[in-house]
Structure 1
Amino acid sequence: MSDAPRQTIRLDGKVALVTGGNRGLGREMALGFARAGADIVVASRHEDACAEFAAALRDELGVRAIGVGVHVGRWDTLDGFVERVYGEMGSVDVLVNNAGMSPLYDSVDSVSEELFDKVLAVNLKGPFRLSALVGTRMAAGGGGSIINISSVGAVHPRPNILPYAAAKAGLNALTEGLARTFGPSVRVNAIMAGTFLTDVSKAWDMEAFAERAKGFALGRGGEPHEIVGAALYLASDLSSYTTGSILTVDGGQP
């Protein structure tokens, strides 16, 4: 497990569900929540990898943790997924809609309807449905926090990420709308993430990226654990008067 700064925020007694939780930013957030004392549901399409990570969280940090396989873009599977999570964990106090995808394409006219629909399903439709299901239960119970992982692409859409950018712009809109839907007991916020050096970045032209990053205020891409502070803030009572907000964490990208 990765090193990270010492944490002082506590989430003891809370259950956090993180989609796309077995890798990248999702893994770091799940780890950060577990270090803060939360019990964890790690969810992604790869149930074996989720189960393996959940076992590591149990063994190393002593929290309850389960790994569950789910494709968030498949609407008709999400009711059963939520039922399973509540059946095994009892509640969900923090939902992180992190699962996402942004397939490459050669040119905008080469984008197929299938690709476009798949990108919107994972990045927008799934978070909407999960938030609707979990947020309704949160509002009927003791409240909670929903955190949507958006992207600066939503406000700076580059030509090679247009379906993804459109989906994330929609996710920003949903964040504000769901905050009004589920308030006052449920807070809904988004982290608008910049460029982080996750496993996906291994396929990048790093020389070209380094040149681009010179224009960032911090002059570099983010390390995955650097998302955790924002996530902990939004998950905890420290953000008790924060809802419908889009928190940018991008190292000062222009």
Structure 2
Amino acid sequence: MSEHNGVIPDIAVDLTGRTAIVTGASRGIGLATARRLAAAGANVVLTARRRESAQEAAAQVDGPGAVVGIGAHVADKDQADACVDETMQRFGRIDILVNNAGTNPAYGPLIAQDHAAFAKTFDVNLWAPIAWTALVMDAWMREHGGSVINTASIGGLGHEPGIGTYNASKAALIYVTKQLALELSPKVRVNCVCPGVVRTRLAEALWKEHEQEVVSLTALERLGEPDDVAAAITFLCSDAASWMTGEALVIDGGQRLGEPGAFREGSWPAR
């Protein structure tokens, strides 16, 4: 267990007066991020496929600013456009976009995937972040600046059996993050986070039946929690990260480092 014993410390961030959209915010990393941004003072728009789900999530978020739930399927351009329009009508600005919505309907070897599952994965995980970024650019950021954060994955930095389609979409999202950081500079910063195995519904297949095995392979000896990632996203949105753009910030408790046991004091051979 790490030094904070599972309790995520607060980060001194002030986003008062800013407005954020968080896609895929009905649960998990998206909901945790909405809570963090709202606590920092931002107005927050949470999206989910169903308006009821978005509104139920918004009811769980507290902060000094306004919190709104809007239904919008991220891969539906018309719904995305309507969400951005409604945000501008309510708040008159969009300073932060968190492209968090993701999906993974494709499992197995790449050459075994049908086109429908492949297309859905890339529509949600890659095309949607580009489309939403274009919309907020036109609505506000091109003239006034802002920050875009994409939720990628450490899967986009390596290879794993069974989830090659998902990981390929996240690898592409990391590339897109860097491309957009150049294209939208200097006014708009674009970064991404690359979580490891986090306790979310999307990642359940990676941890639920063998949590202790995952923990034993993690240097900090615990699964990630949604708030671990949300804290990093909030930092990237803030002025504290004002000279960061095009970065892929890994948040994985040391999972990419490999099995830690042999490196620890007391496990070395006597000399």
CA–CA distance in 1 between the matches of 2:132 and 2:87? 12
Match of 1:21 in 2: 25
Match of 1:237 in 2: 239
Residues 105-124 of structure 1 mapped to structure 2, 5 A cutoff: 105-124=107-126
> Based on CA coordinates, which of the two structures has the bigger radius of gyration?
2
Read off the aligned partner of 1:158 and give its amino acid letter: E
TM-superposed deviation, 1:16: 0.9
TM-superposed deviation, 1:181: 1.2
TM-superposed deviation, 1:102: 1.1
Match of 1:176 in 2: 178
Match of 1:75 in 2: 77
**What SS is found at the alignment partner of 2:148?**
strand
**What SS is found at the alignment partner of 2:199?**
coil
Match of 2:58 in 1: 54
CA–CA distance in 2 between the matches of 1:236 and 1:244? 15
Residues matched between the structures, number: 251
CA–CA distance in 2 between the matches of 1:76 and 1:104? 25
Match of 1:187 in 2: 189
The more displaced of 14-23 and 107-116 is 107-116
**What SS is found at the alignment partner of 1:72?**
coil
TM-score w.r.t. structure 2 length? 0.85
TM-score w.r.t. structure 1 length? 0.91
Residues 1-254 of structure 1 mapped to structure 2, 5 A cutoff: 4-57=8-61, 60-103=62-105, 105-200=107-202, 206-254=208-256
Read off the aligned partner of 1:55 and give its amino acid letter: A
The more displaced of 227-236 and 68-77 is 68-77
Q: In the alignment, is the contact (CA less than 8 A) between 1:93 and 1:144 conserved in 2?
A: yes
**What SS is found at the alignment partner of 1:22?**
coil
Unaligned stretches of 5+ residues in structure 2: 1-6, 257-271
Distance 1:15 1:152, change over 3 A: same
The more displaced of 170-179 and 84-93 is 84-93
Distance 1:205 1:191, change over 3 A: closer
TM-superposed deviation, 1:6: 2.7
Match of 2:263 in 1: none
CA–CA distance in 2 between the matches of 1:203 and 1:155? 19
Moved over 6 A (4+): none
Q: In the alignment, is the contact (CA less than 8 A) between 1:135 and 1:146 conserved in 2?
A: no
CA–CA distance in 1 between the matches of 2:204 and 2:78? 34
TM-superposed deviation, 1:133: 1.6
